[in-house]
Structures are given as structure tokens and as C-alpha cells.
Amino acid sequence: MWDVLKSKAEGIGSRRISTLFDDDPDRAERFSARAGDMLFDFSKTNIDADTLNALLALCEASGLADRRAAMFSGAPINVTEGRAVLHTALRNIDKGPVTVDGEDVMPGVRETLDRMRAFAKAVRSGSARGASGAFTDIVNIGIGGSDLGPVMACGALAPYADGPRCHFVSNVDGAHLADTIRHLDPTRTLVIVASKTFTTIETMTNARSIRAWMINGGGDPGRQFAALSSALDKTAEFGIPDERVFGFADWVGGRYSMWGPIGLSIMLAIGPKDFDAFLKGAAAMDDHFREAPLAENLPVLLALVGIWHRQVLGYATRAVLPYDQRLLRLPAYLQQLEMESNGKSVTMDGADLEIPSGPVVWGEPGTNGQHAFYQLIHQGTDIVPCEFMIAAEGHEPDLGQHQRLLIANCLAQSQALMLGRSLDEAKAMVAGEGLSGDALDTAARHRVFHGNRPSVTLAYPRLTPHVLGMIVALYEHRVFVEGVVLGINSYDQFGVELGKVLAKAIDPVLCDRDAGDGLDGSTTGLIGYLRTCAGPGAWGT
């Protein structure tokens, strides 16, 4: 199957994407799909009908339908950790039972959600209070999946935020904590410690430091701390009262967890009703993923376009370019979702992966990126497939002309990538500047855009909680499809462990409890330099 796709890629030669539109007047329609009122257009790629069929055949042959059924039904598809993968159950609220090991998990999911709602209502109404009054601010302490989703969603849904202000501290760099709490009142701040394992060193260090700040400032950790975790013994050990602990099962992966307790900060910011709409949006995408035929299935198509670009054509990175300022943190969120899930080099059974793993994902909102790195995207030597996102409407009715310009820019970029500018066109452009001969040629060459660079566009009416839920679930399922086609387990993350183990070994060297004899020369040299600069005792004991 991969061979068929490789030969399709070779067969394309220098074919221009733009000619596909000349050959097929209905291309835009035929190479796009809808889920609800969301439109996914992949017509500005070099995928033709034959290639699409080959990609769909690859997907079918990978056993996607069975794997998908296994995931939704609670089978332990995370084979390396022996766990089910059931973040979809967290948004299956109005629907039927979901069983894990013969037990319906939905009553527990609903009960936790009800507790979250009650807590959110109490905090937002001021009936749950800090030492000196209603909560004005919330600080979520967490990292990775216990941070990126909530930060991203709170930014995306800012127009819906009518609760206390939400802040996020993830980095163990003291600057992050210090800069966040500087202007907060320790007697009116609610701290949420978000950690699935409740052992993550960054999170636990920040949690202890903010607790000390609260106590020193007259706050009351007994009523101003909550925890979101799977490790209920550890939350108790930390001293967080049970009624302020929101637990979840091990079948919710960290980077897939914002639909349940890890999303508490989102619920506190936008309120339970809008949080429900967010869940419902994701559930709508779940239904679409389960029911739509493969050729009309957004997560499947998004994944297959990605596979075409990465595994078949060999493009190493993919840019995610939301023309939606409030999706500022979406690229960072997707970096964890995609790269922690599909950045692997062994297959499910431990054999070497013989095709490239998932790509590097990066990006920034447009139009800002246009004034920064788009130069490389248009004229660099590497091809970067781009994923544009654009809403029909913003939330600023008085600034409609801004949205118009945003849309014009978004559409212009995907056009420019596809069409480019030929040498003749560039010459015609610079001819008016009085140049001729070699000088004209040189000046024109700098202005050539080779074009023929692929992009896809996801368009939606407006970034509401429902639409955001759909977008995030779309990307979650995209990762799933890519993982199934590559034959890897998307749900473990052993690649993050080695660095954690080594950091633990370096820490005692930094506080002179270990001589560090076994360290390599570079590490020893760097420690020596940093120790000299910082001076004795600067790092504590």
C-alpha cells in the first residue's frame, strides 16, 4: 500500500496543484468535507482522486473501523500500559453506557461532572470563599496535559469568561510563579493543583511554593486549594480535603484530559452551561468520526492528508496557522497532543517503525506569522504543509472590518502558496523599475515564489464553546487515525521519562549531596560554570 502511494507521489512529477482545478471544475467541492457547519477544504493539495482512493484504502486496510470501535467501547487499546483510552466517555454525557472491564463508567463520570458544576457554581457565586472574601483569581498549577488544554481553551473562550480570572503556572522556573502571583491577593486566590499522577516534580514544587505564599499572606489553604488527580492517596497526603478533590480514572490520558476534572479551570472561567456546550461540541465530532463514511470523515481526511505529506512525500514539519487570535495557544496544545502521541519509532509490537513518525507541529496565529516566518514558508527550500483555520465571524461586531481583513489574509496565503509567482511575472513586476539585462533577471529571481505548496483550510462559523469542542476532538481523532495507520501506540509517552530520571540524578550534584563523578565532561563543565556564576548557596539545599 505504501508502495502504491510512493509511486503516486513519483508520478506527480512537477504537476501544479492549480492545474487540478483546471481539470476538475468541482474540485473544491469534491476535495472538501463537512462536519456540522464546519468545512474542511483540502483541495489546495496535490492529492487527486486516485491518490485519495489509495489513501482511503490504506486507512481501511489498517483496520481503522475495528480499532475505532475498540477505543469507543473501552477495550485496552493502550497496550503498552494495559489501559483503555476513553476520554470520549467524559463527553458522552447524554448517551448510553460505556464499559471498562464490564463496568459502566458513565455514572461515575456524571457524578464527578455534577460535583464540578456544584463547585464551580459555589466559586462563581461567591458562596465558596477565600480567607477574606469571594475568589477573585484562580491559579491552575499543572504541566503538559494538565495545563496546555485548559490554557488553550480559556484563551480561546475569553469572550465567554465571566468568572474569576484564571491564571496558569506550569514551568518550574520560579519566574513563572512569581510573575503570576505578584498582583494576586493570597486570601482571595483559589489554587487548583492539576496532576494526574500528583508526583510531577514541576507541579509539586510549584504547589508547595504557592501554598507557602498563601500561608505567609494570611490565606487559608484548607479552603483555598483544590486538586484534580487520579492519585487520591497523594492528594490527601498533600492535605487537600476530599470534597475539593476531583478524581479521574487511568483511562483518561494526560493530553486528552481537559474534558473532565482537568478542565475545571475552564468551567470556572466560562460557567457550567458553556462548559456543557464545549463537551457537546466534542461529542458531536465523536459521532461524526464514528458515523461518517471514511471519504467524508473529517478526522480521517485530516489524518490522511497529513500522512500523504509526511510519510509519503517526506515533509518533516506541518504548520498550524489559526487566523483566530484566541487560538494563540492551539499550536502549543497540538504539539503535545500530536508529538507526544505519535512521535515514536517502534510499532505496537516493538518492531522498528519503517516509515517516518508523526511530523514536527508548530505555528502561530495569522496574521502575525505572516510578518515573521512566512518568508520561509513561501520561499525557503523546505516545503511546509500549512493548516489554516478561519472563522466567518469574530466576537467583536463593531470590528467587522477586522474580520474581513483577517479572512482576506488567510485566503490570500493559501492562494499564494499554491499559485506562486513565476520568473516572467516577477520580471514584469520589476521591469518598471528601470532595470534590464542581468540586473533585471537578478532582481526578478529574488521575487519568484515557486508556489505549488500545499495547504488545507478549516473554516467554521465562530469560535464558540461548541465549535472549540469540535476542533479539539477533530485533532484528537486525527492523532488516533494517524497512529492506527502507522501501527503505533499513540497513548503512552515513554520518551519523556529519561530526562526526568537524569534530572533527579543531577539535582543532588547541584546541592553538593553527590560529587557527580559519573557525569560526562560537558555536563560537569556546565555545572561548574553555572555554580561559579550563581555563587555559593544560590540554589538552596
Catalytic residue IDs: 340, 371, 500
Tell me the three cell numbers of residue 199: 508526583
| Contact in structure between 88 and 71 (CB atoms under 8 Å) | yes
Q: What is the nearest approach in angstroms of ligand F6P to the Cβ of residue 161?
A: 24
Options 40-48, 88-96, 189-197, 381-389: segment touching ligand F6P (CB under 6 A)? 189-197
Query: What are the DSSP calls for 352-416, one per residue?
Result: BP-S--SPEEE---TTGGGGTTHHHHHHSSS---EEEEEES--S-GGGHHHHHHHHHHHHHHHHH
Q: Is 496 in the site for ligand F6P (CB under 6 A)?
A: yes
Cβ proximity to ligand F6P, 176 vs 447, nearer residue: 176
Query: What are the DSSP calls for 147-191, one per residue?
Result: THHHHHHHHHTGGG--SSEEEEE--SSHHHHHHHHTT--TTSEEE
Q: What is the nearest approach in angstroms of ligand F6P to the Cβ of residue 333?
A: 11
Options 5-13, 196-204, 414-422, 514-522: segment touching ligand F6P (CB under 6 A)? 196-204
Cβ proximity to ligand F6P, 200 vs 464, nearer residue: 200
Instruction: Name which position in 45, 187, 200, 224 contacts ligand F6P (CB under 6 A).
Output: 200
| Contact in structure between 457 and 305 (CB atoms under 8 Å) | no
Q: What is the nearest approach in angstroms of ligand F6P to the Cβ of residue 235?
A: 12
The distance of Cα 443 from the centroid of its chain, to the nearest Å, equals 41
Tell me the three cell numbers of residue 535: 555563587
Size of the site for ligand F6P (CB under 6 A): 14
Options 33-41, 139-147, 211-219, 265-273: segment touching ligand F6P (CB under 6 A)? 139-147
For residue 177, which phi and psi values (nearest 5 degrees)?
-65, -50
Q: What is the nearest approach in angstroms of ligand F6P to the Cβ of residue 287?
A: 27
Q: What is the nearest approach in angstroms of ligand F6P to the Cβ of residue 230?
A: 8
Instruction: Name which position in 51, 78, 92, 203 contacts ligand F6P (CB under 6 A).
Output: 203
Q: Is 254 in the site for ligand F6P (CB under 6 A)?
A: yes
Q: Is 187 in the site for ligand F6P (CB under 6 A)?
A: no
Q: Is 145 in the site for ligand F6P (CB under 6 A)?
A: yes
| Contact in structure between 299 and 281 (CB atoms under 8 Å) | no
Q: What is the Cα–Cα distance from 264 to 119, expressed in whole angstroms?
A: 9
Q: Is 144 in the site for ligand F6P (CB under 6 A)?
A: yes
Instruction: Name which position in 8, 124, 196, 477 contacts ligand F6P (CB under 6 A).
Output: 196
Options 133-141, 190-198, 374-382, 402-410: segment touching ligand F6P (CB under 6 A)? 190-198
| Contact in structure between 257 and 445 (CB atoms under 8 Å) | no
Instruction: Name which position in 146, 297, 367, 413 contacts ligand F6P (CB under 6 A).
Output: 146
Q: What is the nearest approach in angstroms of ligand F6P to the Cβ of residue 290?
A: 26
Q: Is 44 in the site for ligand F6P (CB under 6 A)?
A: no
Q: What is the nearest approach in angstroms of ligand F6P to the Cβ of residue 339?
A: 11
Of residues 261 through 320, those in contact with ligand F6P by CB under 6 A are none
Query: What are the DSSP calls for 46-111, one per residue?
Result: S--HHHHHHHHHHHHHTTHHHHHHHHHTT---BTTTTB---GGGGG-TTS---EETTEE-HHHHHH
Cβ proximity to ligand F6P, 241 vs 343, nearer residue: 343
Q: What is the Cα–Cα distance from 266 to 154, expressed in whole angstroms?
A: 6
Q: Is 205 in the site for ligand F6P (CB under 6 A)?
A: no
For residue 85, which phi and psi values (nearest 5 degrees)?
-125, 95
Query: Binding string, 464-493, against ligand F6P, x = CB under 6 A?
Result: -----------------------------x
Q: Is 329 in the site for ligand F6P (CB under 6 A)?
A: no
| Contact in structure between 108 and 100 (CB atoms under 8 Å) | no
Q: What is the Cα–Cα distance from 125 to 122, expressed in whole angstroms?
A: 5
One-letter amino acid for residue 406 of the chain: L
Query: Binding string, 20-39, against ligand F6P, x = CB under 6 A?
Result: --------------------
Buried b / exposed e over 86-121, threshold 16 CB at 10 Å, is bbbbbbbeeeeebebeeeebbeebeebbebbbebbe
Cβ proximity to ligand F6P, 146 vs 180, nearer residue: 146
Instruction: Name which position in 52, 113, 138, 143 contacts ligand F6P (CB under 6 A).
Output: 143
Q: Is 195 in the site for ligand F6P (CB under 6 A)?
A: yes
- Biggest CA pair distance of the chain: 80
Instruction: Name which position in 112, 136, 197, 205 contacts ligand F6P (CB under 6 A).
Output: 197
For residue 25, which phi and psi values (nearest 5 degrees)?
-60, -20
Q: What is the nearest approach in angstroms of ligand F6P to the Cβ of residue 24?
A: 43
Cβ proximity to ligand F6P, 227 vs 467, nearer residue: 227
Of 196, 231, 195, 192, nearest in space to 211 by CA: 192
Cβ proximity to ligand F6P, 40 vs 198, nearer residue: 198
If one counts every other C-beta atom within 10 angstroms of the C-beta of residue 320, the result is 23
Q: Is 140 in the site for ligand F6P (CB under 6 A)?
A: no
If one counts every other C-beta atom within 10 angstroms of the C-beta of residue 535, the result is 8
Q: Is 80 in the site for ligand F6P (CB under 6 A)?
A: no
Q: What is the Cα–Cα distance from 133 to 136, expressed in whole angstroms?
A: 9
Instruction: Name which position in 124, 255, 318, 344 contacts ligand F6P (CB under 6 A).
Output: 255
Q: What residue ranges bind ligand F6P (CB under 6 A)?
A: 143-146, 195-197, 200, 203, 254-255, 340, 493, 496
